[in-house]
């Protein structure tokens, strides 16, 4: 798993601290060209392999909740489900889709929608496929950890990659994953110096991982801009359970500055 990952919230106008900043980002990235230029800057900063664009790795996060919500509003539940069925194998899709519609079989529905989302990444390198926190945390609340096993088994068996789980509640997620046999999971969660959106607080995360090891990807390390970059990154680099750092930025200067800070504090830690 790469040490530095580049996120995409800025491309969708998402900011957890400021609605005004989110609006500005949505305007900035309303044209695809602006997104491509930002990805190029991330590539040039060394986040992706420098040889070619083909060296970039993609980490799908699913489901894209807004897409499904809009489709249900426009088409209704049944037709929305039909719309997103994979088209690669019509017989298989029809059989599996029929089973979903008749029996509401959770496993069939989940695997069908995973396949539909993965169509967009055909031919690309996707080392990890993530379950979005909107679903991860809903399943936690419903007490249905078996769904995590369904997701993990399907992405491993069909695509040969690992499953990852995004959450706002790492201390609750780790025992749920362990209960269905998922150990040392890849988990993406908020990790930052002020405990911003860390359910239970910083110590609860440390305690949870001490009991149940996990490969943690730290997101929201700057707490949506509440912590100065150098201070935030120095702290998160020294959290020993953090395997990777995920960040988003909308300018080449901020991308390069963040990458340089991570590498600087990583080097300091290695020499300590």
Tens digits of per-residue pLDDT, 17-36? 555 554 454 445 455 455 55
Q: How does pLDDT run across 62-113, given as a tens digit for each residue?
A: 887 666 656 656 776 556 655 665 444 443 444 455 544 433 466 777 788 8
Predicted TM-score (pTM) of the model is 0.77
Percent of the chain with pLDDT over 90: 45
Q: How does pLDDT run across 103-146, given as a tens digit for each residue?
A: 346 677 778 888 888 988 888 889 999 999 888 998 899 898 99
Burial class of 218 by CB neighbour count within 10 A (0 to 12, 13 to 18, 19+): buried
Q: Is 60 helix (H, G, I), strand (E, B) or coil?
A: coil
Q: Is the model's pLDDT at 43 over the cut of 90?
A: no
Spatial CB neighbours of 33, under 8 Å, sequence gap ≥ 6:
none
Cα 14 from Cα 107, distance rounded (Å): 31
- The neighbour count for residue 136, using CB atoms within 10 Å, is 26
Top-ranked range on mean pLDDT: pick from 29-38, 49-58, 155-164: 155-164
Q: Where are the domains of the chain?
A: 4-60+128-271, 63-125
Q: How far apart are the first and last CA of the chain?
A: 23
E strands along 46-195, which residues? 61-62, 128-131, 162-167, 186-190
Cα 238 from Cα 241, distance rounded (Å): 9
Q: 99-103, 113-117, 168-172, 250-254: which has the minimum mean pLDDT? A: 99-103
CATH architecture group of domain 4-60+128-271 = Alpha-Beta Barrel (3.20)
Top-ranked range on mean pLDDT: pick from 79-83, 205-209, 246-250: 205-209
Average pLDDT for the chain: 80
Q: How does pLDDT run across 227-242, given as a tens digit for each residue?
A: 999 999 999 999 999 9
């Amino acid at each position: 798993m790469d040490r530095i990952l580049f996120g995409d919230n800025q491309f969708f106008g998402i900011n957890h601290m400021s609605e005004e900043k989110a609006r500005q980002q949505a305007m900035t990235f309303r044209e695809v060209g602006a997104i491509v230029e930002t990805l190029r800057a991330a590539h040039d900063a060394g986040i992706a392999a420098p040889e070619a664009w083909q060296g970039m790795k993609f980490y799908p996060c699913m489901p894209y909740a807004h897409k499904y919500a809009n489709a249900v509003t426009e088409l209704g539940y049944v037709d929305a489900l039909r719309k997103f069925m994979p088209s690669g194998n019509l017989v298989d899709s029809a059989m599996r889709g029929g089973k979903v519609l008749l029996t509401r079989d959770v496993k069939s529905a989940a695997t069908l929608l995973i396949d539909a989302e993965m169509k967009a990444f055909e031919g690309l390198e996707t080392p990890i496929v993530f379950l979005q926190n909107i679903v991860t945390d809903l399943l936690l609340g419903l007490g249905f950890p078996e769904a995590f096993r369904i997701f993990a088994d399907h992405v491993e068996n069909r695509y040969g990659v690992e499953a990852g789980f995004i959450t706002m509640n790492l201390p609750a997620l780790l025992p749920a994953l362990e209960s269905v046999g998922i150990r040392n999971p890849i988990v993406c969660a908020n990790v930052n110096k002020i405990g911003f959106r860390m359910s239970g607080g910083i110590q609860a995360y440390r305690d949870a991982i001490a009991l149940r090891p996990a490969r943690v990807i730290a997101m929201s390390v700057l707490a949506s801009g509440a912590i100065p970059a150098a201070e935030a990154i120095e702290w998160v680099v020294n959290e020993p359970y953090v395997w990777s750092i995920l960040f988003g930025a909308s300018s080449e200067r901020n991308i390069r500055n963040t990458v340089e800070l991570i590498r600087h504090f990583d080097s300091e830690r290695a020499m300590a």
